[in-house]
């Protein structure tokens, strides 16, 4: 099990996936600080950033 996890964590595809998640998160956070974003996308940004708890 540990060897499989290590293989996944060290794979190039996984690294690019994590980079993509980080970039997407940065874009959502940045969009949240832009004043006119609510008019452009409505509640979609709020739904993407709110937690379900």
Token representation of residue 46: 């709020």
pTM for the complete prediction?
Answer: 0.62
From first to last of its 53 residues, what are the pLDDT tens digits of the chain?
999 999 999 999 999 999 999 999 998 888 778 767 766 776 676 666 665 54
Q: What is the C-alpha to C-alpha distance for residues 37 and 45, in angstroms, rounded to an integer?
A: 8
b (16+ CB within 10 A) / e for 18-45: eeeeeeeeeeeeebeeeeeeeeeeeeeb
Determine the pLDDT at residue 52.
53
Q: What is the C-alpha to C-alpha distance for residues 50 and 32, in angstroms, rounded to an integer?
A: 12
């Amino acid at each position: 099990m540990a060897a499989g996890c290590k293989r996944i964590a060290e794979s190039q595809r996984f690294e690019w996936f994590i980079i993509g998640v980080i970039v997407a998160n940065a874009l959502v956070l940045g969009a949240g600080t832009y004043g006119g974003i609510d008019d452009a996308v409505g509640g979609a940004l709020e739904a993407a950033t709110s937690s379900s708890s």
